Amino acid sequence: MHGPCFMEVYTLLVLLLVQAHAAGFDNLRGERRLQDTMDNASMQPVCTPKPAVSFVDQKPMCQPCASITINDQVKRCMFNTSLCDAVGPGETCMIDCAAPFVRVGNWTTGQCPKGNSIPDRMVMWSEPTCICPEPDAQQGYAQDSSGRWHCTQGFAGVPEVVCEPLPGCAGVQTFLRGCDKLVPCAMPSVDNCRFDVSRCTQVPPGGSCEIHCQTPLTGNHTVAVCKDLNTDPLQELDYFPLTCLLESCPDPSPWPIGYNKTADGKWVCATGYNGTARNRCELGDTWTSDCSAAAALTGCLQVVPCLAPTLTGLDGCTYDVSACTSVNPGEQCEVHCKSPFTGAKTEAYCPDGNTDPNGLVWTRPPCGLDSCDEPGQVPAGYQRFGTTGWECAQSYTGFAEKVCETTESCEIRAVLQGCLQLVPCEAQDTDCRYDFSDCMSVQPNSQCTVTCKAQNGFAGSSTTGTCLQGNTDVNGLVYTNPVCVINSCSDPANGNGYVKVEDHWECADGYSGRVNKTCMWMEDECVAEPLLSGCVMEQPCRLPDLGPVPCMYDVSDCTAVPPGQVCSVRCQSPYLGPTSDFACPVANTDPNRTLLGVLPVCGCGEPTPLPPGYNLTQDPFDDNKITYSCAEGYGGFARKLCQPGPDCTVDPLMTGCAIPLSCEAIFVDDSSGNGLARGAIHLGPALVGASVNESDVLYYEVFWADSCEDRMGSTALGQAQAGMGDACCRSDVYSVPIDSRPPEGATGWVVYSALRGGRAPVGVFVPLNQTMLNAIVIGNNAHFSQTVWIVFWLAVAIIGF
């Protein structure tokens, strides 16, 4: 019985040991495989070159916003912004009032813009409403029941709570200002010699006083007022203007000659003087220092006799004033006619109290000449009428009269006057526009016709000239000028851009415009000069603006293109492109006019070979029509640029396509061990070039990677759908869980971007670090040892049984 059972137990034990040994061998083989992987990783195998990427150092990493900076010293101590230091993109922070300031209302928030990649951008924030802490009570201030401050009695103003932070924001000094003590107004600044302001000292706010005239000045008084609630000690009293007159002052010493003072104190003129004595007080030379004034007497002049008037010219031949040589005041004298003049005498008198030597009052007597000798020679135009009269002679008109005249030398002579000779009117032909040929000699009481001078090219109306009856003036023709215009003038010589063809003017070759001939009237020369206008010299057109690369174009055919001509602009080799025609407008006269046309679009040849990431497609029907696109696994928009080089060379440059790569990818270990890698690949959005761009990315794939950072196998460990990235790079946007045993030769993971046109040719490598590998190996050995011990103790138990 015991034999067979023992053998069965023994057989079972052997089987368990074999299995344990197999398990340990497998684990050891796994350990050796991992060790071989590490050894292989250090052997630097030859790897297939990968397309180059150039944005690794330019990725726009997400950045926290800079702390809030406040320049104002008071506000810097007023606001507590400590919670807004290093605020991440899209995050907010709270801003409150810093103690001891008191907040009114709610606190405010600051925010860092979502996707911020600018490290120095300050948090966007708004200020909370913070007020100063209540100040201690001060003289002149009081609070009402609602807590508002007001000025107490004896003070005035608008109270204000003021905060002054202590250095380093160690606290705040709070005090009240705005209420000032009521004070009297200052005395007004006046001329103290004129105004008495002694009653106006210490006038309180709202009070008043009187300002009087200073003795000896006289006048009314005025009222000066101190404004209500005055707090300015320099504020002067406000008053209406006051007029003060200086009416009395000390008598002059000694008295001036010609003045006496009566017993009742009035000034009068002394004996031998006449006038009205006036006593006017004037400011003394020392008025500003001692207010002194002095009397100034005026109005009295010495009484003198009147002298005879001085006669000049014909008055000296006509009037006799010899009786008025010296006439005492109040006396009279006679003025007679001087022989041979006759007429009634007149009386002259010297006024009482006369003070003017020329004060004689007189009137000229009516003196005339009754007769004089006949003229010695009868002038033309006069003849005797009877024995004593005169009349106008034949062909003269008027009323003959004999008058007696006195010469400057008092000589008496007879003069005949009143007769004028009849003469015809003589028109002066002084204006070349008018024809006075009919009016050269028009007899009195006759007419003539004034016309336009046709021989000078004038035409128009005609007028009538009249020589009046009894005309005695050769210039006495009465007429109006006719309206005459000139409608033609001679032609100038050809030249200056003008040429006459048959019977009309045209612009000469090289000139453009419409000819306009005018006849300009030259007043001084009395001639109409021809004037041609309208033709302007034609100008060649200038080259158009050739842009930043002028050597791109061949403009040799387009220099100084004349009006109406066409030229061609070509692409200058090595640039390629069509030819464009440019034209200078017909009859161009503007020297700044540029050629009309559109510059050709000049390109360059194709890059050879085409750089990786780009496809070129040629239209089968048009060899010149070529389109570009991004190759499979590349994202962006393909463009060809013609990059100008030195000496007008050009290089074709493809741009716009790049491999979309996750900007950041890291492995976050969870609980790797027992031969398994457990955790997650955390990755950020794809970069195309130097900016985040997921427009072409569908999802991200994670594969095991070998030492060449190439994917192992065709099945991905996991995927993450794209489209959640910000404008900056963060490694926590996407996550792919990892729970897998590394295949032989694996040194990490690689993250690929999957596009609509296929998978990107390059991925982002995430290394599996040495510590993690060791953790996986140690986990396998521990499992093996544990199994051996379990089998051993099980065997002991069975044998014991």
3-state secondary structure 366-395: CCECCCCCCCCCCCCCEEEECCCEEEECCC
> Which of 430-434, 718-722, 782-786 is predicted with the least confidence, judged by mean pLDDT?
782-786
Distance CA 407, CA 29 (A): 167
Mean pLDDT of 415-433: 88
pLDDT at residue number 265 = 84
326 token code pair = 């010296």
Query: pLDDT at residue 327 above 60?
Result: yes
Mean pLDDT of the chain: 85
Structural contact between residues 403 and 417, judged by C-beta atoms closer than 8 angstroms: yes
Query: pLDDT at residue 611 above 70?
Result: yes
Neighbours of 276 (CB within 10 A): 10
Structural contact between residues 155 and 196, judged by C-beta atoms closer than 8 angstroms: no
**How far lies 486's CA from each of 306, 461, 482, 588, in Å?**
76, 12, 13, 35
For the segment 235-253, what is each residue's pLDDT rounded down to a tens digit? 999 999 898 887 778 888 7
Length of the chain: 801
> Which of 300-309, 551-560, 694-703, 784-793 is predicted with the least confidence, judged by mean pLDDT?
784-793
Distance CA 616, CA 790 (A): 68
Query: pLDDT at residue 49 above 90?
Result: no
pLDDT at residue number 661 = 92
pLDDT band at 81 (very low <50, low <70, confident <90, very high): very high
pLDDT at residue number 58 = 58
Distance CA 392, CA 373 (A): 20
221: nearest Cα among 236, 209, 233, 203: 209
Residues 6+ apart with CB under 8 A from 265: none
Structural contact between residues 484 and 459, judged by C-beta atoms closer than 8 angstroms: yes
Distance CA 424, CA 690 (A): 112
Question: Chain centroid to CA 716: how far?
Answer: 65
676: nearest Cα among 751, 773, 767: 773
Query: pLDDT at residue 309 above 60?
Result: yes
* Confidence (pTM): 0.44
Is 476 exposed, middle or buried (CB count within 10 Å of its CB: 0-12, 13-18, 19+)?
middle
Distance CA 508, CA 494 (A): 9
The owner of tokens 């046709």 is: 454
Query: pLDDT at residue 155 above 50?
Result: yes
**How far lies 337's CA from each of 334, 370, 411, 415, in Å?**
10, 12, 16, 22
The owner of tokens 């990968």 is: 50
Structural contact between residues 259 and 300, judged by C-beta atoms closer than 8 angstroms: yes
107: nearest Cα among 70, 143, 134, 80: 80
Comparing 466 with 786, the larger pLDDT belongs to: 466
Written in H, E and C, the secondary structure of 153-170 is CCEEEEEEEEEEECHHHC
DSSP letter at 561?
Answer: B
For the segment 499-543, what is each residue's pLDDT rounded down to a tens digit? 999 888 999 999 999 999 888 878 777 778 888 999 999 999 999
Neighbours of 136 (CB within 10 A): 8
Query: pLDDT at residue 288 above 50?
Result: yes
Structural contact between residues 653 and 607, judged by C-beta atoms closer than 8 angstroms: yes
pLDDT at residue number 280 = 84
Mean pLDDT of 766-780: 62
Neighbours of 106 (CB within 10 A): 10
Comparing 494 with 790, the larger pLDDT belongs to: 494
What percent of the chain is predicted at pLDDT more than 70? Answer: 89
pLDDT band at 2 (very low <50, low <70, confident <90, very high): very low
Query: Which secondary structure element, helix H or strand E, spans residue 451, and what is its range?
Result: strand 446-452
533 token code pair = 């206008």
Query: pLDDT at residue 1 above 70?
Result: no
41 token code pair = 């990783």
Query: pLDDT at residue 37 above 50?
Result: no
The owner of tokens 């007043």 is: 523
Distance CA 321, CA 343 (A): 14
Distance CA 107, CA 95 (A): 6
pLDDT band at 98 (very low <50, low <70, confident <90, very high): very high
DSSP letter at 603?
Answer: B
pLDDT at residue number 770 = 60
| CA angle at 556 for the pair 552 and 559, rounded to the nearest 5° | 115
Distance CA 206, CA 228 (A): 4
